[in-house]
Amino acid sequence: MRKIGVIGLGHVGATIAYTLVTKGIADELVLIDSNEDKAVAEEYDLRDTLSRLDTFTKIIPQDYTALKDADVIITAFGNISAIKMDGDRFGELNYNAAVVAEVAQKIKKVGFNGVLINISNPCDVITTLLQRQTGLSKKQVFGTGTFLDTARMQRAVGQAVHEDPKNISGYVLGEHGESQFTAWSTVEVKGHTIEDAAAVCGLDLADLDHRARRGGWLIFSGKHYTCYAITTCAIKLALAVLSDAHLACPTSVYLENYGHYIGYPAVIGRQGVVEINKIKLTIEEQAKLDNSAKIISEKLTSLH
């Protein structure tokens, strides 16, 4: 029995719920939103798909107690109207920090002991707050973080070299935000270093890094939200937990040396973060990671 909860049914949460149901990933799906009418609307829209699907999902609306035995909770709450077109995901900070206090208390009260995957922005700060306030272990809580930004880097490099983005490997690290960076020392195109690809194709790595970082804002400027890519990331991570896949990927994970969550390579399985996948960075890349961690830390401090 695979049971998943989604808290927050905006564009992203609703798309996740739809994907979980239509792909038959969840046997039971708990839907929770601060807007009861929205939750009921999503519930019935999903129920109306069931007679045309090959699988069945039991849909449970607005019931925190039903999360007690859930395998995974995905948090996707937010206030998208607080985001401005200036590239600052911290626009939602105060709103979402307040929501964390309410949501975490309810999750803790029902005795949930599964894995929590956070999407809500600013992802690294909110993931840190959720872990602290739910009391779940640092392995049980992680965020989508730079898993999405790495996909955007793969898209940008793939377009530049005319390759399927799945043939691009490597990591975007740091904050899921403006201080993120592509760790070019980790990037390969079909097993060849990015330096080799750049020499052949005349790539401008700084420009590609910019395209990866600004990719989300390109989408946001056109439709005023993003949903498909982040949903795909969340679903892949949830499946990694459900199947104990030991998926190696960058997510927002807790690093002891920083004392908070940040985008970094990890291995995801049934218990959540199976291990932190320590990698060797260049001196310049390490400095960028340290700087990004400092920004996250400052935002956390500002909430006290």
Residues annotated in a binding site for NAD(+): 8-13, 33, 96, 119-121
d(CA 51, CA 41): 17
**Cβ atoms 144, 252 nearer than 8 A:** yes
DSSP codes of every residue in 273-293: EEEE------HHHHHHHHHHH
d(CA 129, CA 120): 11
Q: What element of type H or E holds 301?
A: helix 283-302
Catalytic residue positions, numbered = 176
Judge contact between 273 and 117, C-beta under 8 A.
no
Q: Are 250 and 176 within 8 A, CB to CB? A: no
Kindly write down the DSSP assignment for every residue of 236-282, as one continuous string: HHHHHHHTT--EEEEEEEEETTTTEEEEEEEEEETTEEEEE------
Distances (CA, A) of 148 to 119, 200, 265, 282: 10, 27, 13, 23
Of 1, 34, 33, 30, the C-alpha closest to 17 is: 30
> Residues within the annotated binding site?
8-13, 33, 96, 119-121
Contact in structure between 171 and 279 (CB atoms under 8 Å): yes
- Please count the CA atoms within 13 angstroms of the CA of 216 that sit on its side-chain side: 25
